[in-house]
Amino acid sequence: MRKKRVLVTGGAGFLGSFLCERLLALGNEVLCADNFFTGTRDNVASMLGDHRFELLRHDVTFPLYVEVDEIYNLACPASPIHYQHDPVQTTKTSVHGAINMLGLAKRTGARILQASTSEIYGDPEIHPQREDYWGRVNPIGPRSCYDEGKRCAETLFFDYWRQHRLPIKVARIFNTYGPRMQPDDGRVVSNFILQALRNQPITIYGDGQQTRSFCFVDDMIEGLIRLMDTSDDVTGPINLGNPVEFTMLELAQAVIDATGSSSQLDYRPLPQDDPRQRRPDIGLARQALDWQPAVPLKEGLGQTIAYFRALMDGGRIPA
């Protein structure tokens, strides 16, 4: 099989860097385009010596003219702290970024995959969420730049598919964690791990009974690659995530156990629009991709803790 030229936007980020590594390992050429807003050169350091890997500083809100066979569109800050830093830029990244990458796919005939999100479902009234649920999203709140930007990107993907018959793939990614999560992004997994490693209080927002389901990064990458490899009639949207659901209190306990920390719990106010529950229905992914997560929370937490511990030991983040 001819090796493919694959563009990964947001390729220097958490998910993108693992995706680039995996695509290289499968024999492809990889062009990573990133504006380094939340991504870093460190994340892609292991690939810089590989002649099949190219790193391009590029903002997807501007056009990009390159020749590729596949596009994974991951560019977009994913954590509330980062996407709320410059909300207008967040919407532009999702919307203009999608238009530019779809235009590129149209010109080159490339397959294109969109990294969409479970936030499409907002604060859902049904549980678990299936792909045919339309969601309950606040259009004017602080999370809207991300949620509505991603919803509009989905609209654009399906209109390019209807209007131009582009081979599109839309993945709705649920909470994913692992090494290379940003230590300062305020996400629950990184917060809890850092607090536990420092023996500081673990910050529980609200009563800690809200739930999330956490997918380990390796499982997510496998799902994304399987989705890209489906036939053209498979467009999605398709949920990718781990259906095993935990309360934030259970997560805190798992992190305390895995680190041997002496941290206590510290209850704080719940942020605005914080969803109560979130768990994917992955029936479609099981059937269409023969995919389901394989890494249990304990094992994934172990690898993630080891990563953060190494950052601390190396003086890259304060101990």
Residues contacting residue 169 through CB under 8 Å, at least 6 positions apart: 111, 112, 113, 114, 227, 228, 230, 234, 235, 236, 238
- Quickly count: other Cβ atoms within 10 Å of residue 38's Cβ: 23
146 is catalytic: yes
Choice among 83, 121, 146, 177 that is catalytic: 146
Query: Vertex 177, ends 93 and 45: CA angle to 5°?
Result: 70
State which residue, 152 or 265, has the beta carbon closest to ligand NAD.
152
Binding mask 252-281 for ligand UDP (x = CB under 6 A): ------------------xx--x-------
* Interface region with ligand NAD, contact rule CB under 6 A, candidates 58-66, 191-199, 273-281, 293-301: 58-66
Under the criterion CB under 6 A, does residue 121 sit at the interface with ligand NAD? no
**Separation of alpha carbons 32 and 72, rounded Å:** 10
Residue 283 binding result from ligand UDP, ligand NAD, none, given CB thresholds of 5 to 8 Å by partner type: none
Asked whether the beta carbons of 75 and 100 are under 8 A apart, the reply is no
Which amino acid is residue 125, in one-letter code? E
Least separation in angstroms between residue 11's CB and ligand NAD is 7
Under the criterion CB under 6 A, does residue 311 sit at the interface with ligand UDP? no
Which amino acid is residue 212, in one-letter code? R
**Interface pick for ligand NAD out of 8, 30, 44, 74 (rule CB under 6 A):** 74
Q: Nearest CA to 170 among 58, 59, 94?
A: 94
Residues forming the site for ligand UDP (CB under 6 A): 63-65, 80, 99-100, 103-104, 106-107, 175, 187-188, 191, 203-205, 210, 212, 248, 270-271, 274
Which residues are known catalytic residues? 146
